Amino acid sequence: MSNNYCRVFSNNEILWATFLIVGAVIPSHATPPSETQTPTDAVTASAFDETAQRPRQDTSAQDNHRLPLKKPTREICMIEEGFLWIDAEDFDNYGGWTLDSQFVHRMGSSYLIAASVGNPVDDATLRLDIPKAGRYQLWVRSKNWLKDYSPGKFTVRIGDTESSHVFGAAESEAWLWQRGGVFELPQGNTSLAIHDLTGYYGRCDALILTTNLRYTPPNERDALCKERARLTGLSLEPTPEGEYDVVVVGAGAAGCCAAIASARMGATTALIQNRPVLGGNASVELGVPICGAGSGQSNARESGIIEEAGRIKARFDYPKMSEPFRLLAEKEKNLTVFLNRHVFSADMNSDRQIGGVKAVDTLTGQITTYRGKQFVDCTGDGWLGYFAGAQYRFGRESREEFAEDLAPATADDITMSGCLMGIRALSYRATNLGKPISYRPPAWAAELPPPDEFGRSPRGFAGGQWWLEHQGELNDLTHPEKARDELLRITYGYWDYIKNYSLHRHSAINYALTYVPITDAKRESRRLVGDYLLTQNDVQEGKIFADRISYGGWPLDVHHARGIYSGKEGPFHCDPRVPLYTIPFRCLYSVNIDNLLFAGRNVSVTHIALGTVRVQGTLAALGQAAGTAAALCAHDKATPRDLQRQRIAEFQQILLKHDQYIPEIRNEDPRDLARSARLTASSTGHHLFFDRKNVRREKLHPLNLSRAVMFPRGVNERLESVSLLLSSDRTEATPITLHVREADASGDFSAEDDVIAVEALVPAQRETWVEFKTACTLDKHFAWVWLPKTAGISWRLMSAAPIGSCRAYGGGKGRVWQVHNGQQYAFATKPSLAIEVDYHVQNITNGTTRGVGNKTNLWASDPKQSMPQWVALRFPEPVQLNTVYLTFDTDMNASHHTAALVPQCVRDYELSYHDRTRWQKLVSVAANFQRRRIHRFAPVTASQLRLTVLATNGSPSARVFEIRAYDE
């Protein structure tokens, strides 16, 4: 013990350290009362998902600018006599430095970075106990991240003495140990500080103080890890974390949905995440919005778990998806979540089967193992598949290989660039200081194309743009830190362009750069190969696969290979719109590893097809499918390929049961007792009414080109006026002409003749409804109106509109209109639209739970009749049941979860059953805002089941898509 100068931890310290190390596990909680209630006890609201009170929030990581990643406190001590090893993470106070753990897989540890905008940050500080007086050599592991400029310089202070060496200025861009000088240190307490000199991303990984003046630490990663363990006492012996039915690696939108789905299927599930929060690109660290098919298609927002999480986000105004995913994960008793664990190895049972994985704690270096039956790779980069030896693809396929006319002529290793993201900013944040602010860029800022070659139009100055991207030859996978650093250079070059060269520089004169995020939100890297690769042609043909498990509808959005340097060629390689297409299950499991599934942007698709599949709403649905499949395979000791070949119809029905929409597949579950019931309702509506009070605002679109909106005519042939929600930046009222045209089908903007053209004035410098006196008669089923390009005027989008509505842009004067389904510009008519629709009660059991085309697939009560309204299911003979599934209307036509409370959604309701003598209450719910509710209770024998709607969140009609009843 003479060489060990550690002091002993107190009991409280041990408990606290243990909590921080393994306390990243999210605890399990019982299922909410409303889903486990016996029929004798009516329930009202679980605090988690039914009341207006905001659920308890985990505030451990809310802001990427000061993300409180903090290593468990470790007493710095001499494990080896004459050596003190200090990880940068060990500092008591990080000051203005930020702990960056996103490159652990490449360099072996996290590090501190001085992330500012040219203003030196406050020192990171630590109190050290020097066990023996003596001469100590200082070694610092640092990096010159751009050797020709050495932007990130810093020194180290011990006591009152500053290091003789300036770090961050080496001749190499590699991580290196450098001598910092010899210090005469007395025994006892002293201070250690990392002192930033530039405010431009200086980096410090670790420090060593040693009395062995001939010692040189290793730079090679594996040797470095062993040396760190030797000098800190960290054991490299793995600690088992248990055996699971399913192990999910990566907790982005896909991984969270996969893990939750697996746990809900009864499989013991581990979710391993290398970040401090859940959500991946959608987390509070990055903040990428959840986009999907609903951004380009009608009634196409993804349902299931991602809808559940999105509704929580909107209802309680969470900034991003970390909290909703955490709250859902906490509810699953079969799910254990491990944060800050990076999987770096796969232990194989054979060449075709994974037995377990190893992970390293990104804060402590502790190694843990996880055994499993089925594994799901949701890492985005396909790391688990790579470690297991799964086949994968990287870069662009040739045009010839899959006959993709959008692919390049020759295959290469180019991938789409990511972009810098943080919860506070896309690329950067700038502030209007109310006075002129000059800007001189650092010498290392990227030189971007000149204004006449720039090829892009900035939208405002407070934040950056998604097209601030590096060239595709720079590899986000093999050189991730270099790729991130290039994005930093591009951001500063862009701000220089805005302030000093762009045509908009005078409008940006008062803006100052205040924040640049340091995390790379990746778009593309490795893609694992399944039994099928989805291609451009599959997508553009809207192919319906027999083994489909989900769908997509985002455009073929492939970014330009040259990134920001593409100039007048623009930011896209291609961006054509596509019809709704399906995704086969064969894209979600490995062609050569028998117990490996995957979801996320590493699924089995070509580079071109990835352009549409890669958005998070689409990937979340794939995650739910993969997690469900993994649980089924683990339970039945089967492979995913067995499931695809032998039980695909059953699997599809299970996904439908859990609210995963699959085009052209209906509920045919033989166990659903509701399918044989006769339905009756208190009333039925026959028309959809739409006017100004139905409009809920979304973002503005400037009339920088012509814009149009289409809507069904309804029962009224006369169109007295059309009102549009317009905004003006101009200093005087502006005349504008509205053109009215007709169409036989939704989306047909081919008509070239006006029914009428009417002029109105748009008031200056405000947003208002502008009424156009059309006074015309419409003969066809659809009408559309359009406005010409008009500087200074914008047209507001709205979140919902009648079935058959859509928008278009860029047409007129011989130009073809570009149609955008799933979005509409804000309009209202006089008389109000009254559209005949099928709201028959039998829709509740027709097997489809969203509007498709002109079919509502919905029961709605008569809006002229007051609440309560009810629907009853009479069974052919009394049945025993213990579970009821309800699906309400949360407006799947809105592309995003923007409305805190969707007016169409049922709010307060009761479930009752008839025991052949009288009605008995099963469940009473208040303040609901979710689309899917599942209620489980003790078995009852019922001749009828009744849902009584007491109130909605604003709609005059009760609206229900589906009721299922089970004895399970």
Cα separation of 390 and 376, whole Å? 12
Q: List pLDDT tens digits, range 598-620.
A: 999 999 999 999 999 999 999 99
pLDDT at 460: 84
pLDDT at 14: 26
According to DSSP, residue 678 is labeled: E
pLDDT at 72: 61
- Under a CB-based contact definition with an 8 Å cutoff, are residues 659 and 307 in contact? yes
Spell out, as residue ranges, where the chain has pLDDT lower than 50: 1-52, 59-68
According to DSSP, residue 554 is labeled: S
**Dihedral sign computed on CA atoms, order 537, 540, 545, 549:** positive
Residue type, 12: N
Task: Classify strands 367-377 and 596-598 as parallel, antiparallel or unpaired.
Answer: parallel
Q: How many CB atoms lie within 10 A of CB 747?
A: 18
- Under a CB-based contact definition with an 8 Å cutoff, are residues 785 and 741 in contact? yes
pLDDT at 313: 97
Cα separation of 11 and 21, whole Å? 15
Q: How many CB atoms lie within 10 A of CB 547?
A: 20
Cα separation of 123 and 940, whole Å? 67
pLDDT at 236: 86
The CA–CA distances, whole Å, from 960 to 464, 471, 473, 656, 931 equal 42, 49, 51, 16, 9
pLDDT at 69: 57
125, β-bridge pairs: 93, 193
* Tokens describing residue 792: 């200074």
Omega within 30 of 0 (cis) for the link into 450: no
* Tokens describing residue 356: 């377990």
Cα separation of 588 and 641, whole Å? 10
Cα separation of 469 and 824, whole Å? 30
- Under a CB-based contact definition with an 8 Å cutoff, are residues 144 and 128 in contact? no
pLDDT at 2: 30
Q: Could you tell me where the beta strands, DSSP code E, fall in 638-683? A: 678-681
Q: DSSP 3-state assignment of 169?
A: coil
Task: Classify strands 335-338 and 341-350 as parallel, antiparallel or unpaired.
Answer: unpaired
pLDDT at 402: 98
pLDDT at 54: 58
Cα separation of 746 and 806, whole Å? 8
Q: List pLDDT tens digits, range 648-683.
A: 999 999 999 999 999 999 999 999 999 999 999 999
- Under a CB-based contact definition with an 8 Å cutoff, are residues 390 and 590 in contact? yes
Cα separation of 295 and 939, whole Å? 42
Please, is 166 exposed, middle or buried when counting C-beta atoms within 10 Å of its C-beta (0-12, 13-18, 19+)? middle
The CA–CA distances, whole Å, from 647 to 255, 435, 630, 636, 967 equal 24, 67, 13, 11, 22
Please, is 176 exposed, middle or buried when counting C-beta atoms within 10 Å of its C-beta (0-12, 13-18, 19+)? middle
Task: Classify strands 367-377 and 239-249 as parallel, antiparallel or unpaired.
Answer: parallel
* Tokens describing residue 399: 């045009």
- Under a CB-based contact definition with an 8 Å cutoff, are residues 152 and 168 in contact? yes
According to DSSP, residue 457 is labeled: -
Q: How many CB atoms lie within 10 A of CB 76?
A: 20
Cα separation of 825 and 816, whole Å? 19
Q: What are the strands of the beta sheet with 425-426, ordered from one edge? A: 425-426, 419-422, 519-521
